[in-house]
Amino acid sequence: MISLPVHEFAHGYCAKLLGDTTADQQGRLTLNPLKHLDPIGVIAMLTVGFGWANPVPINTSNFTKPKRDMAIVALMGPISNLVLAIIGVCLFKITSIVFIINNSQLWLYYFKVFFNYFAIINITLAVFNLIIVPPLDGSRLVTYFLPQKYYDIFMRFEYLGTIVVFALLFFGVLDMPISIASGWFLKVFDWITYPLDILRNFLINIIV
């Protein structure tokens, strides 16, 4: 309800900045989750553990440099999730500090759990979308470096990529690589927000 709409909005807004207003014209340049969530994707997410949103429409013919601009638009989706993830890590640590100050109130514990999952889910979404299999965002980045003839062939078989992605998810092939990459990002974000840990430890020493 938060992460997927932000991801799609980032695609659409970036496309608009680069000259394509298709998403805006179709009312998709919004954070309203009802405009982005795919019913089947939501059901799949709740039942089998993975799902998808309704991709924002992009018309590459409106770009000055279609391959380059499409790669930039694709990159903005995962970046938006990584930004949300680091916000989630910060809020988790801030809530942990407030949790200590307020004598471990139960309602603050639930906020801690929420922000923890919020960070992990967004990191996982970013890593997953960076996989180099169409139609995932990572494939758009790779195609920028392909010669035009190979690019055309690659895009022609994009529909097969969807089947491959579903198969890899269903059989758990991607579980370990995604987990390792997500753990790396989480460690980086934990290091970046280390000053909040110092503050928390300082308060613990004072209270104890």
Can you give the pLDDT at residue 11? 97
Contact 120, 187 (CB under 8 A): no
Number of domains in the chain: 1
Can you give the pLDDT at residue 94? 94
Among 82, 75, 71, 180, smallest CA distance to 126 is for 82
Domain span at residue 20? 3-207
Can you give the pLDDT at residue 208? 59
The Cα–Cα gap between 155 and 74 comes to 14
Looking at the annotation, which residues are catalytic?
8
Chunked into runs of 10 residues, the chain (208 residues) has average pLDDT values of 93 97 95 90 79 90 93 96 97 91 84 95 95 89 81 73 83 91 96 93 80
Write down the pTM of the prediction: 0.90
Which DSSP symbol is given to 64?
S
What's at 171, amino acid-wise? F
